[in-house]
Chains A and B, each alone.
Chain A
Amino acid sequence: MAAPKVAVVGAGVVGLSTALCVAETCPSCSVMVLSDQFSPNTTSDVAAGILIPHTYPGTPIHVQKQWFKETFTYLFAISNSAEASEAGIHLVSGWQVFKNTPKEELPFWSDVVLGFRPMSEAELQKFPQHRFGQAFTTLKCDCPPYLLWLEKRLKATGVQMCTRKVADLWELHSEYNIVVNCAGIGAHQLVGDEKLFPVRGQVLKVHAPWVKNFIRDGDGLTYIYPGIHRVTLGGTREKESWSLSPDPGTTKDIFDRCCSLEPSLRGAQEMKVKVGLRPSRWCVRLQREVLSQGGVKLPVVHNYGHGAGGFSVHRGTAKEAARLVRECIAALQGSTSKAKL
Chain B
Amino acid sequence: MRVAVIGAGVIGLSTALCIQEQYHGLVPSLEVEVHADRCTPHTTSDGAAGLWQPYLSDHGNLQETLWNKETFDYLLGHLGSPAAKEMGLFLISGYNLFTQPVPDPSWKNIVLGFRNLTPKELELFPGYSYGWFNTALMLECRRYLPWLTNRLMQRGVKFFHKKVESFQEVSGDGVDVVINCTGVRAGELQPDPELQPGRGQVIKVLAPWVKHFIITHNIESGIYNSPYVIPGSEFTVLGGIYQHGNWNEENSAQDHKTIWENCCRLLPALQKAKIVEEWSGLRPARPWVRLERETLRHGHFQAEVIHNYGHGGFGITSHWGCAMAAARLFGSILQEKKLASPPQPRL
B53 CB to nearest A CB, Å: 15
A126 to B81, CA, bound (A): 12
CB of A126 within 8 A of CB of B268, answer: no
Contact string against B for A residues 170-198, beta-carbon threshold 8 Å, 1 for contact and 0 otherwise: 00000000000000000000000000000
A226 to B113, CA, bound (A): 20
CB of A80 within 8 A of CB of B135, answer: no
- Contacting A209 at CB < 8 Å: which of B93, B118, B233, B269? B233
Given A91-B211, A114-B120, CB of A120 within 8 Å of CB of B113: yes
Instruction: Point out the residues of chain B lying under 8 angstroms from A135, CB to CB.
Output: 113
Q: CB of A66 within 8 A of chain B?
A: no
A83 to B268, CA, bound (A): 8
A209 to B232, CA, bound (A): 8
Given A81-B269, A228-B208, CB of A114 within 8 Å of CB of B112: no
Q: How many residues of A contact B (CB 8 A)?
A: 37
Instruction: Point out the residues of chain A lying under 8 angstroms from B135, CB to CB.
Output: 93, 123, 213
Q: CB of A340 within 8 A of chain B?
A: no
Instruction: Point out the residues of chain B lying under 8 angstroms from A122, CB to CB.
Output: 112-113
CB of A114 within 8 A of CB of B118, answer: yes
Q: Would you list which residues of chain B between 206 and 255 have a CB under 8 Å from chain A?
A: 207-212, 231, 233-234
A233 CB to nearest B CB, Å: 16
Binding stretch for chain B, among A50-58, A237-245, A263-271: A263-271
Q: CB of B291 within 8 A of chain A?
A: no
CB of B90 within 8 A of CB of A264, answer: yes
A90 to B269, CA, bound (A): 10
Instruction: Point out the residues of chain B lying under 8 angstroms from A120, CB to CB.
Output: 112-113
A122 to B210, CA, bound (A): 25
CB of A92 within 8 A of CB of B211, answer: yes
CB of A82 within 8 A of CB of B271, answer: yes
A135 to B135, CA, bound (A): 10
- Contacting B233 at CB < 8 Å: which of A137, A210, A213? A210
Q: CB of B24 within 8 A of chain A?
A: no
- Contacting A212 at CB < 8 Å: which of B123, B124, B211? B211
- Contacting A210 at CB < 8 Å: which of B90, B113, B117, B273? B90
Q: CB of B91 within 8 A of chain A?
A: yes
- Could you say which interface size class chain B belongs to? 35 or more
Q: CB of A165 within 8 A of chain B?
A: no
B132 CB to nearest A CB, Å: 11
A86 to B233, CA, bound (A): 20
CB of A211 within 8 A of CB of B90, answer: yes
CB of A266 within 8 A of CB of B211, answer: no
CB of B117 within 8 A of CB of A115, answer: yes
B94 CB to nearest A CB, Å: 8
A264 to B233, CA, bound (A): 13
- Contacting B209 at CB < 8 Å: which of A85, A114, A264, A266? A85
Q: CB of B80 within 8 A of chain A?
A: yes
CB of B271 within 8 A of CB of A90, answer: no
Instruction: Point out the residues of chain A lying under 8 angstroms from B85, CB to CB.
Output: 210, 264, 267
Q: Which residues of A contact B (CB under 8 A)?
A: 79-86, 88, 90-94, 114-115, 117, 119-120, 122-123, 126, 135, 137, 142, 209-213, 226, 228-229, 263-264, 266-267
With A115-B121, A263-B84, A267-B86 given, name 9 new contacts (CB 8 A). Answer: A81-B268, A82-B272, A92-B211, A114-B121, A123-B112, A213-B91, A228-B208, A263-B79, A264-B90
